Amino acid sequence: MIFINRDKETKKLKETDGLKSREKSQLWRIFKYNKKLKPFRLSRSKFSDFLTCKRCFYLDQVEGLKYLDSIPFTLNNTVDDLCKKEFDYHRAKQTPHPIMEKYKLNAVPFKHKDIEKWQNSRNQGVEYIHPKLNLKLAGGIDDVWQNLNTKELIVVDYKAQSKSKEKKLEGYLEDVYHEGYKLQLDFYKYLFEKNGFEVQKRGYFVVYNATKEKEEFKNKLEFTCDLIPYDTDSSHIEDKIIEMKKLMEGKEIPAINKYCQNCNYINAGSKFL
């Protein structure tokens, strides 16, 4: 994939120096310049970056290199938006969604004044300012439900995919590409707990699978919906966050991830230049 830089508004080609903006109003985005200003915001995806490659995380968050733009997953986002509407309908009425009835869960989508803020992954999410680390940790959730028996919250995430009928749920949690999913729910549990909520151990992935077994497309995708239970564990998050902050305050740039295709591509290419 070749990423060409364009102006976000005009879409015209725009030269890039590979750095984030150094304009005064933007410096809060770079830890090195923000340190004494206000709690530094770190999203769940940046925490995940830290766990995947400390070097990339450091260069992005501390030194302010501009990471490659991400590609919008428009079909997945549409599935997310549409099912959010469905769950919102049941949130307003405080009735169970059909998938909860199918799996015999005595639960409803959680009704709370901050739900829209929690679902805003771009600027808000579920936030927690860590008092000792001066970090504002944030995670934009798809949804959160409430167990009506215990009143505990249930962390959930919607996932869209397209696999054959036989393989759609096979080894779902063991899939190496789904490792990050589990971290996602662990992190949300951590954030809700830090905000004073009781959260049950069992969370769920709501898996929408676009059916492949159709004779004709006819401009229509059909989905099945299933729940994959996952026993969340937030106990490992705090120590990793402390480790992450320590790295941010240090001056040492971590080594590359030797399994990363990007850095190794650049390394290999630089030998020819």
- Site of interaction with ligand SF4 (CB under 6 A): 53, 55-56, 256-257, 260, 262-263
Distance CA 11, CA 44 (A): 28
Rank residues 63 and 198 by Cβ distance to ligand SF4 and give the closer one: 63
Pairing mode of beta strands 135-139, 40-43 = parallel
Residue 169: count of CB within 10 angstroms of its CB:
17
DSSP-derived secondary structure for 74-135:
HHHHHHHHHHHHHHHHHHHHT---HHHHHTT--EEEPP-TTHHHHH-TTT-SEEEEETTTTE
Rank residues 48 and 120 by Cβ distance to ligand SF4 and give the closer one: 48
Rank residues 16 and 262 by Cβ distance to ligand SF4 and give the closer one: 262
Q: How far is the CB of 53 from ligand SF4 (least distance, A)?
A: 3
Question: Cα 39 vs. chain centroid, distance in angstroms?
Answer: 20
Q: How far is the CB of 246 from ligand SF4 (least distance, A)?
A: 18
Q: How far is the CB of 269 from ligand SF4 (least distance, A)?
A: 13
Rank residues 169 and 260 by Cβ distance to ligand SF4 and give the closer one: 260
Q: How far is the CB of 61 from ligand SF4 (least distance, A)?
A: 12
- 171-195 b/e (C-beta count within 10 Å ≥ 16 → b): ebeeeeebeebbbbbbbbbbbbebe
Q: How far is the CB of 166 from ligand SF4 (least distance, A)?
A: 34
Rank residues 56 and 99 by Cβ distance to ligand SF4 and give the closer one: 56
